[in-house]
Structure 1
Amino acid sequence: MTVKESIEVKKVLQFLEEIGIEVIEKQFQSSFLPGLDLGSNCIYIDYDNLLYPGDILHEAGHLAVTPFQERKLVGTDQISSEWPTQGDEIAAILWSYAALHHLQLPLEFVFHPNGYKNASKWYISNFSSGNYIGLPLLEWMGLCLGNEKAEKEKKSPFPAMQKWLRD
């Protein structure tokens, strides 16, 4: 079975299609993450060079937390040299956790030992205990609700998302 045929990757690809993030299969030689690159509201995947399929969700998180008008600039020389900011990185990490929860995939799928500057176990520990680093940022972006606001609005709190893409 190839990476593309794995149950986890199929779930991720279907989810991304449903929320409006295009995935384009493409061969390329080098990128920041092996087998992955970002373009204008899309993710390029080179399945032959993809080392960690969970990284697809993290990269999708970067697109998801980027404002709509800027998403189309990703992968071009028109995107800010500051992109992604540290706040964007934190938001993308937490977004990918919510996606894992939604897809019922194990945390290790995204937070594998070879990622996150050796902090994968730390993220898993924090998220598993309900310590959602960056939650106020995702709330501010209008993507989810913390416990207090969710209770007031009678909606599901994070890790449930109110929407998956930032306006």
Structure 2
Amino acid sequence: MNPSAPPRPGDVTDRILDFLRSIGLPVRDGDAGGDAFLPGVRVDAGGLVVDRAHLRWPGDLLHEAGHLAVLPPSHRAAMSDALAGHDEVPHAGEMEATAWAYAATVALGLDPAVLFHAGGYHGRSADLVRTYALGVYPGAHGLVQAGMASTGEQARQRGEAPYPHMRRWLRE
């Protein structure tokens, strides 16, 4: 493969799935079902079921994984389908899941357009790419509060790289 060529969708999917497995999120191939919230991906018992034949946007894997990763383990294991109740846990909402997914995108060296693709984010994908590119990180504060990342002075005091670097990928 030409190193300057953009990665093929299957390559991106494999990279994402390898990453998710490496951090300890359960991922398995299977039928996501026609009623899955996002084509080709379903949350099941705290893990992801990936239906490669129907997966339209590989970045959706990162976003759904973000929802699981920002939950404490006791809540994570109970999550399925539409993630009922995930937003009742402090610092485990949509913004934190998006911030987590962006940090994973950076860690994987992927173009932010993989995550913020044209088919998602209610038509606000380009705005999100711009926002994150400017260093404005919606949801990062919640990741800090959950002990998953550091920002600003806290990162300097700890001698850590600031967000989008993650201190830990799964909430404890």
Q: What TM-score comes out, normalization by structure 1 length?
A: 0.90
Q: Is the 8 A contact 1:57 1:110 kept in 2?
A: yes
Q: Residue 86 of structure 2 aligns to a residue in which SS? A: coil
- Residue 136 of structure 1: CA displacement? 1.1
Equivalent residue, structure 1, for 2:148: 143
1:90 matched to 2:90: no
**Cα distance in structure 2, aligned partners of 1:5 and 1:150:** 34
Q: How does 1:5-154 map to 2 (within 5 A)?
A: 6-27=10-31, 28-75=33-80, 81-84=84-87, 88-154=93-159
Which runs of 5 or more residues in structure 1 are unaligned? none
Which runs of 5 or more residues in structure 2 are unaligned? 1-7
Cα 1:157–1:74 change in 2 (3 A) is: same
Give aligned-pair identity as a percent. 32
- The number of residue pairs the alignment matches comes to 162
Q: Is the 8 A contact 1:54 1:109 kept in 2?
A: yes
Q: Is the 8 A contact 2:86 2:92 kept in 1?
A: no
**Cα distance in structure 1, aligned partners of 2:15 and 2:113:** 15
Q: Which runs of 4+ in 1 moved over 4 A?
A: none
Q: Residue 48 of structure 2 aligns to a residue in which SS? A: strand
**Cα distance in structure 2, aligned partners of 1:30 and 1:16:** 23
**Cα distance in structure 2, aligned partners of 1:84 and 1:106:** 28
Q: Is the 8 A contact 2:9 2:58 kept in 1?
A: no
Q: Residue 43 of structure 1 aligns to a residue in which SS? A: strand
- Residue 87 of structure 1: CA displacement? 5.3
The AA in structure 2 aligned to 1:75 is S
